[in-house]
Amino acid sequence: MNTFIPEQGIWSMIVQSSLLIQIIMLVLLVMSLSSWTIIIFKFISYGRFRTLVQDQVMNFEQASDLAEAMKASRQSAKSPLYEIGLAALKEIQKLEQSQLSASVKFRIAEDNVRRVLRQGVSSHLKRLSSSLTFLAICANSSLLIGLLGTVWGIMNSFHSIGVQRGATLATVAPGISEALVTTAFGLVVAIPATIFYNILWERLNNIQSDLIDFAGSFLNRAQRELPWMEKK
């Protein structure tokens, strides 16, 4: 009797397949669902974050002074620019209140403020890039996991040929179908994960550029408006 019935479909084939193939398919399914969850969430969050940053950068540059610019940034809920700018202002206040001479303050002020701004930008980028590593893992490993199923299915086909002492469609078809399906599922996971990983990384780079532009604008404005930071 032919144990391989194509009309039953992929689901029936998976149910009747070996335990390893079922585990591989389950792993690929979890990776696919996780990948799409990350992709959708990141697309939405990156879009909102960049729109917020661009609006705040515009308001910051249009403000008459640093105090007004920070006040405008503070009005936005969970403002990333306000958090970065506030950390830099605290560093400036520490320098102002220190007992260092004016020449020493001037010499270290720019580097200190620049370092704090860089740390703020890096902190936000680190939070934004979370889960992208897992997306890259899915893109790179899903093909290999699918390939494992391919090899296992072909091995089963050859084993069946040896047991039956001959090659017939009923003998080799189940193993070959397992091999092809796991390969296909691996591609289904890997292709969108790879494409959207690169797209999301490009969007993250754009956000990084916006945050760096803000950090530069903040430092320039601080140097213009704070007398002790101006070069004598």
pLDDT at residue 7 above 50? no
* Residue, of 5 and 165, whose pLDDT is higher: 165
Residues 45-58 pLDDT 10s? 999 999 989 888 88
Supply the pTM of this predicted model.
0.78
pLDDT at 141: 93
Residues 27-81 pLDDT 10s? 999 999 999 999 999 999 999 999 989 888 888 888 888 888 888 777 766 788 8
pLDDT at 65: 83
Q: Collect all residues with Cβ–Cβ distance below 8 Å to 121 and sequence separation of at least 6.
A: 84, 208, 211, 212, 215
pLDDT at 6: 46
Residues 94-142 pLDDT 10s? 887 777 776 777 777 788 889 999 999 999 999 999 899 999 999 999 9
**Single-letter code of the amino acid located at 123:** S
pLDDT at residue 1 above 50? no
pLDDT at 119: 94
pLDDT at 110: 80
